[in-house]
Amino acid sequence: MNKRRLLLAEDDEDDRMLFSDFLEERNDFELVHSCENGMEVIEYLDAIINVDELPNLVVLDQNMPKMTGSQTLQSLKSTPRYAQIPVAVYTTYTDRRLIDECYKSGAITVVAKPISPSGYHQMMDELIDLIPN
């Protein structure tokens, strides 16, 4: 199976490093790009000319400057070109309101950021199950 192309938005450098290190240990995901905030996600996607090259999954950190994860999610879902891309929100602190809001906006999942290497792999196993082939 081809590796699934994943786009990450994460403002924290350590977290970007952890995410990409753990992805490299796997053969199911390929990190196509890391953005530092939601604005960059939109800009990055807008720059892709061929629709077939859009990522298979976007993972958004919630707490980011300029555009939060949930704001970016809403923006993507209201843009026809990106509405079909599966989006997951992952966050340090999950509260009920955020979870509800994200699901309502069309997130495939809202997950708490893992606190261990095994937690990372578990999260990625779940993500791969959630995106359509």
Binding site for another protein (CB under 8 A): 12, 14, 18, 63, 92-93, 95, 113-119
- The closest alpha carbon to 106, from 70, 67, 54, 52, belongs to 70
Put residue 64 in one of left, alpha, beta given phi > 0 → left and psi -120 to 50 → alpha.
Answer: beta
Nearer of residues 1 and 93 to another protein, judged by Cβ? 93
**Joined tokens for residue 53:** 């090259």
| Strands 29-35 and 57-61, sheet pairing | unpaired
> Would you call 49 helix, strand, or coil by DSSP?
coil
Straight-line distance from the first to the last Cα atom of the chain, in angstroms, rounded to the nearest whole number:
9
- The closest alpha carbon to 55, from 81, 89, 24, belongs to 81
Nearer of residues 79 and 122 to another protein, judged by Cβ? 122
The nearest distance, CB 102 to another protein, in angstroms, is 16
The nearest distance, CB 117 to another protein, in angstroms, is 5
Q: Longest C-alpha distance within the chain, in Å?
A: 37
Nearer of residues 80 and 93 to another protein, judged by Cβ? 93
The nearest distance, CB 113 to another protein, in angstroms, is 6
The nearest distance, CB 5 to another protein, in angstroms, is 25
